[in-house]
Each structure stands twice: as C-alpha cells, then as structure tokens.
Amino acid sequence: MPFPDRFADLVYSWSVFEHLADVAGILSELRRILKPDGLLFLQIEPLFYSAFGSHLQRLVPEPWAHLTYSEEEFIALAQAASDNVCAAEQDTLYRTNAFEDVKNYLIQEYRKLNRIKPEELAAALAVEGFEIVTERRFAVEGVAPSATLLARYSSELLMTNQIVLIARRTR
C-alpha cells in the first residue's frame, strides 16, 4: 500500500477478505500502516462455508450447493443457469454485460474465494500482530443445513454468514 509505516489510526475492510488469496500478507501490510494501538475494522460476508458462501446464489439458489455437490457438479450447475435475476437485483455488472459474460466472471470469482474459517481468521490476526477487541458473528436465517453437511462440518461453521470485528495493532 502506498502509505508510510505507522500512518493510520484506523483501517477498514468491508466484504473484501473473502476474495483475498494472501490473507496473512494483507494483514501484515495493514499492521505496517497502522499506528501502535491503531484499529482494524473488518467485515466479511458471506463466509465461504455459509449457505451462499459461493457468491453464486443468483446462478445456483440452493443453500450450501457449493458444499453439497462436487466442485465439478457445482460449476456445471452454475454454467447451466439461465438469467432469472429480477431487474431490482441487477447491479451494474448485470446491466452492462451479456448474461453469459456475467456468469463466466462470477464463476471465475468463485474459484478465487478463500475458504478461511473464523478460527483461522482469529489465528491469522494474532500471528500478524493484532488482538481482537470485539467480534460479532451473524448467522444465516431461514435455512438449515442437511444432516449430511452437519456430518462433515460444524453447525457453527455452516451457520456463520458474517463476521464483523475490531482488532487492535499490538505493539
């Protein structure tokens, strides 16, 4: 980042960390630019293991489909999707591109998502010189994972849709 060491009192990230390949590297860089006792505000939504953590719910509206099907099957479902996105939910990406191009872009982005778990995030923060001051986890609502998924993953992991936290740079 084009900032000097110990430049900022506060840095924040909103719905970005799930897209980062090098979480530790980014945390290290954020720590570098923060002043001692500086704060990091971090929000992640949706987490990969949550109901729609694939970010492809517009293409495959089935909760946890990315965990239920094999990777190959899930991608095939996404590629076979038709354009059923209502006008009210069409963002700039949808309004300015052909649906096939949007679909291909979203699938490429899905493949890049990291699969960080809340405990791994907490550990990465500690290793990179942060202490969590406050953390709040938000659960997905209105859906429940299958017994098959619960045999593979914890209920807490599957139901945690969002994390919002504040961490302090340690000296």
CA angle in degrees (0–180, nearest 5) for 69-24-64: 15
Are 168 and 130 in contact by the 8 Å Cβ rule? The answer is yes
Q: At what angle do helices 71-80 and 99-112 cross, to 10 degrees?
A: 160
**Residues 24-44: what's their mean pLDDT?**
97
**What pLDDT is recorded for position 43?**
98
**What pLDDT is recorded for position 84?**
85
pTM for the structure as a whole: 0.91
Are 126 and 170 in contact by the 8 Å Cβ rule? The answer is no
**What pLDDT is recorded for position 85?**
82
Compute the mean pLDDT over every residue in the chain, rounded to the nearest whole number: 95
Asked if residue 160 has pLDDT above 90, the reply is: yes
Q: Is 79 left (phi over 0), alpha (psi -120 to 50) or beta?
A: alpha
**What pLDDT is recorded for position 52?**
96
Of 13, 48, 65, 55, nearest to 34 (Cα)?
A: 13
Burial environment of residue 44 by CB neighbours within 10 A (0 to 12, 13 to 18, 19 or more): buried
Asked if residue 171 has pLDDT above 90, the reply is: no
Domains of the chain: 8-48+115-142+154-169 (3.40.50.150), 65-112 (no CATH)
**What pLDDT is recorded for position 86?**
83
Q: What is the pLDDT of residues 80-133, one digit of tens each?
A: 999 988 888 888 998 999 999 999 999 999 999 999 999 999 999 999 999 999
**What pLDDT is recorded for position 124?**
97
**What pLDDT is recorded for position 117?**
97
**Residues 16-41: what's their mean pLDDT?**
96
Q: Which residue has the higher pLDDT, 168 or 58?
A: 168
Q: What is the pLDDT of residues 43-85, one digit of tens each?
A: 999 999 999 999 999 999 999 999 999 999 999 999 999 998 8
